[in-house]
A and B are shown apart, each in its own frame.
Chain A
Amino acid sequence: MTEIELLALAKQGDLFAFNELVDTYERLVYNVCFRVTMNKQDAEDASQEAFITAFQKLDQFSGESFKSWLLRIASNKSIDLIRKNRKHPEVDLTPENSDGEENRNADWMIDPEADIDRIMDRADLSDVLRRCIEKLGVEQRVVIVLIDVFEMGYEEASKVVKKPLGTIKSRLIRAREKVKSCVNIARELFSHPDRQIGEEA
């Protein structure tokens, strides 16, 4: 069954048909949410909410690109979640380390951004990029994620973000400049004689 046929059925309330579309797009939606929120749990929540909203508002879908429409909802859900978390930050009182063991000291309470040397010491390039994207503003982050990470065109990104093409371009340029600066800082840190990428300090 084609996407158009599935959409027609889903518009009539056929949940089974809609779930076929969920199967097709869930990985993309989850990854977009993850790149925007930079948090797996938030990405999971945003993805689920995006699919629920998509099903409930399917009658408002005007027949453009379903992928763009779905990613627009997913991006908005992710942005909403980030803003909500900023207003009501959740701090895990007993976080676990990377080995899944509970931390014994209070090091985890230190702002990770303030301890950039330590982060960079352990980081590989994808970690550096992830950190650099995380430092971007939400609007810029969404644009660079859509265009550079998911190779979306300007037009499609414009539809997803619901902003004019000029806004998309300017946000993208600013985001790339910031990421480049961030990576250059990291490179300087990595090139320090006492430090190597992937090595503990």
Chain B
Amino acid sequence: MTFFSKNLPNSELHDLISGEATPRTAAEIRARRSSDANFDAEALEFERIRRSLQSLPNLPAPRSFRLNPQMAGVKPPKPRSFAWATYAAALMFVLSIGFRTIPLPLSASEKSLAMEAAPMLLEAPMEAPMAAPAAEMPSDIPEAAAFAEIPAAEQASDDLALQAAPMDAPAEGRSRKMPDDPSDDMNEAGSVGSPTSALSSFSMVAMWVSLGLALLLLALVLLGRLIQIRTWRKKMGARRHG
């Protein structure tokens, strides 16, 4: 005969074995055990099995179950600390392009050459091929100007006086101004040392400096980013801590 047949709720015995019985229930079961050998044998059997289960060896973890960023689906943080450098590099790059492409102010001789070439192109298409190469050769500015002035100035002053009043003024002004033009001396001495060439040199230097700075900043940003990711990966690494 087992304890089940004696109207003892088996759940109470199991509560006692699990350490969940109330003191009153525990006392009742103990009393029953002392008076009923079969019941006591059953209870001992369950206790023995529980003790055996508790004594089962706990296995060591075969490996670390630490998570790495890939497992956890975590992305590295964005390099906010380097945003200023990125913006500065972009600005420098834009500046370098700006220095390279910005139109430089023309010298007086270049201005006169350009102004003289314009009417020739408009009104004397046959002569344009002659004026155009002169205008396209900056190294031959004095010679080209002298060569281009002869037909262009005469024709322009005559034709413009007769036909186009708005164009007259510049032509006359130029013809009056040219003898007193200080740039003539410069043209004679060549373009070396002129404000234009100085500005040109400055823009070239500025371009290279800003381009260099842009590249340097970009390199710093990339280096900083690499260090940041490496540090972060190391911190979040899957290897067991310590």
Binding site for B on A (CB under 8 A): 13, 15-16, 18-20, 22-23, 26-27, 29-31, 34-35, 40, 44, 47-48, 51-52, 55-56, 125-126, 129-130, 133, 144, 147-149, 151, 153-154, 169-170, 172-173, 176, 179-180, 183
Contacts and interface: CB of A to CB of B under 8 A. Distances in A.
Given A130-B56, A148-B50, A48 B65 contact: yes
Contact of B235 (A16, A27, A151): A16
Contacts of A40: 59, 62
A22 B65 contact: yes
Contacts of A47: 61, 65
A149 B59 contact: no
A23 B66 contact: yes
A148 B54 contact: yes
Nearest to B63: A44
A187 to B, nearest CB: 10
B71 interface: yes
Contacts of B126: none
Rank and list the top 8 A-B pairs by shortest CB-CB distance, nearest first. A148-B53, A19-B66, A26-B65, A15-B236, A30-B61, A26-B61, A27-B61, A149-B53
A176 B58 contact: no
B236 A16 contact: yes
B56 A126 contact: yes
Contacts of B201: none
A28 B60 CA distance: 9
B72 interface: yes
Contact of A176 (B14, B68, B71): B14
Contacts of B235: 16
A133 B49 CA distance: 11
A176 B60 CA distance: 26
A51 B65 contact: yes
Contacts of A16: 235-236
A170 B11 CA distance: 8
Contacts, number: 104
Nearest to B4: A177
B210 to A, nearest CB: 39
Given A31-B58, A176-B49, A52 B18 contact: no
Size class of B's contact patch? 35 or more
Contacts of A29: 65
A56 B74 CA distance: 10
Contact of B59 (A22, A30, A52, A170): A30
B76 to A, nearest CB: 11
B52 A22 contact: no
B129 interface: no
Nearest to B66: A19
B54 A151 contact: yes
Interface in B59-100: 59-69, 71-74
A56 B18 CA distance: 34
Instruction: Kindly name the residue among B11, B50, B61 whose own CB sees the greatest number of chain A CB atoms within 10 A.
Output: B61
A30 B56 contact: no
5 contacts: A26-B65, A27-B61, A31-B58, A126-B55, A129-B56
Given A22-B64, A176-B50, A183-B49, 6 more contacts: A27-B61, A30-B62, A48-B65, A148-B50, A173-B14, A180-B45
Contacts of A52: 67, 71-72
B229 to A, nearest CB: 14
B37 to A, nearest CB: 18
A19 B45 contact: no
